[in-house]
Amino acid sequence: MKQALRYSLKVWITTVVLAPIGVLILLGLLSDSTILGIVFWYPMIVLGSLMSSFLSASLLLLGVFYVSRLNITEKYKKVCLSILSVGSTLLSFYLISGSSLSTEVGYKIIAYALVFIACVWFYKLIVTSDLPNELINNE
């Protein structure tokens, strides 16, 4: 359980920190925003992302806990987690914005989902069979 929590927290926090940069760059390129405006809004967006992504973090933790015990390769486990991350991103944005999905919200969903998937693949998923026996017994 500790390894699943550690992996999930790494993926979630990295996504919360990096995805707003992608959103701000994407929206900055689409409008007449300045770099100063992007720097000003970044901390507020990260704070909002932290608060609104607890559902995604919880689903990721449950998914990691379940998938890490399946008898499939790490590649397929990460494919499953990538699908879960896209689904949880869509669900989070749907619950926040309701059924009124604008183009701007669509760009945010794309940015968050891509960063989420990249983070899933970036960090090593340690499965129970990869751990020494003394660590498995202590978990």
Mean pLDDT for the stretch of residues 32-37: 64
| Counted domains in the chain | 1
Residue 134 is predicted with a pLDDT of 46
pTM above 0.75, yes or no: yes
Question: What is the longest distance spanned by two Cα atoms in the chain?
Answer: 57
Q: Two tokens at 17?
A: 């920190």
Give the residue from 66, 112, 64 showing the smallest Cα distance to 86. Answer: 112
| Structural domain harbouring 47 | 2-138
Residue 6 is predicted with a pLDDT of 93
